[in-house]
């Protein structure tokens, strides 16, 4: 059963990644408004999950606050970067979250790496170097913003450990989306207000954010049960990381991103191999 959930998590995450490009490129919402409405729908879905489960368990802590802040900041940065990056490159660059997770683990948890782990780190850096080549993705400002987004989400994952254990699944997902909704509302209040007015006049603008939120929420749900049921967490991680290859291929079919396709496929495969080595 864990294998089933792992592949569903991989597929839903890949589709979510590609859909976020649609949010910023195929709707009239600003990138901040797009992120706001995706999180708003996610929060609504989380409320339904919580009501259905009947479990409202939550423990207020500094980790909880960090989850909200890190998710919020990451959400802003992610959608800012997606505006100027190709969908496929964005997903590969975002894989740098593995490097940040490893670095934070070494810094705060005394994580030590084995030689094979270092091989994984080198392969991941090689994958990123392939895509960061100016001929492939020359928007260095957007690349830098996506790297910062990955760092913020790495902090989010670090803080999620205790929060996910202290809160029910529905509450944890709601808290995550609440941060993603609150941050852009505070950072770009006037712009979010303008997007809300736009939505009231053109309700169809909510379709893409709503569909995106469905896959995002599904990913939370599938990955939660995959980790819960799997005999080893590393097995889930190896399968779930495969989403980057799937995302690159989806970007080719949905956005006709034909340029440097072979290089991007190679880079995405390197990411998967690197992730498996880092997590051994």
H/E element holding 220? helix 207-229
What percent of the chain lies above the pLDDT cut of 90? 49
Q: Is the pLDDT of residue 217 over 90?
A: yes
Q: What share of the chain is helix, strand, coil (3-state, %, to 5)?
A: 85, 0, 15
Contact (Cβ atoms closer than 8 angstroms) between residue 7 and residue 242: no
Tell me, yes or no, if the pTM score tops 0.85: yes
Q: What is the pLDDT of residues 124-159, one digit of tens each?
A: 999 998 888 756 665 788 899 999 999 999 898 888
Distance CA 244, CA 165 (A): 27
Q: What is the pLDDT of residues 60-104, one digit of tens each?
A: 888 899 999 999 999 999 999 998 898 999 999 999 988 898 888
In angstroms, what CA-CA distances link 15 with 40, 65, 243, 254? Answer: 19, 29, 9, 11
Which H, E and C letters describe 138-151, residue by residue?
Answer: CCHHHHHHHHHHHH
Q: Which two tokens stand for residue 63?
A: 């980790």
pLDDT of residue 43: 95
């Amino acid at each position: 059963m864990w294998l089933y959930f792992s592949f569903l998590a991989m597929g839903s995450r890949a589709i979510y990644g590609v859909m976020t490009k649609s949010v910023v490129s195929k709707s009239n919402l600003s990138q901040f408004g797009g992120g706001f409405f995706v999180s708003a729908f996610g929060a609504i879905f989380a409320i339904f999950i919580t009501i259905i489960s009947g479990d409202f368990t939550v423990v207020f802590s500094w980790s909880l606050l960090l989850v909200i802040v890190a998710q919020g900041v990451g959400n802003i940065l992610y959608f800012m970067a997606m505006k100027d990056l190709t969908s496929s490159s964005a997903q590969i660059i975002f894989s740098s979250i593995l490097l940040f997770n490893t670095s934070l683990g070494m810094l705060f948890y005394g994580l030590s790496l084995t030689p094979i782990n270092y091989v994984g780190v080198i392969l991941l850096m090689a994958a990123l170097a392939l895509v960061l080549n100016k001929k492939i993705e020359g928007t260095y400002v957007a690349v830098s913003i996506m790297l910062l987004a990955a760092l913020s989400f790495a902090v989010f994952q670090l803080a999620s450990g205790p929060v996910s254990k202290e809160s029910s699944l529905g509450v944890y997902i709601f808290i995550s989306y609440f941060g993603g909704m609150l941050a852009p509302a505070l950072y770009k209040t006037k712009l979010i207000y303008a997007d809300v007015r736009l939505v009231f006049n053109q309700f169809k603008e909510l379709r893409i954010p709503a569909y995106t939120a469905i896959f995002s929420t599904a990913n939370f749900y599938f990955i939660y049960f995959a980790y819960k049921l799997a005999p080893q967490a590393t097995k889930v991680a190896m399968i779930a990381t495969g989403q980057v290859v799937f995302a690159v291929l989806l970007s080719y079919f949905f956005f006709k991103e034909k340029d440097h396709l072979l290089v991007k496929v190679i880079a995405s495969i390197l990411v998967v191999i690197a992730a498996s080595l880092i997590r051994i």
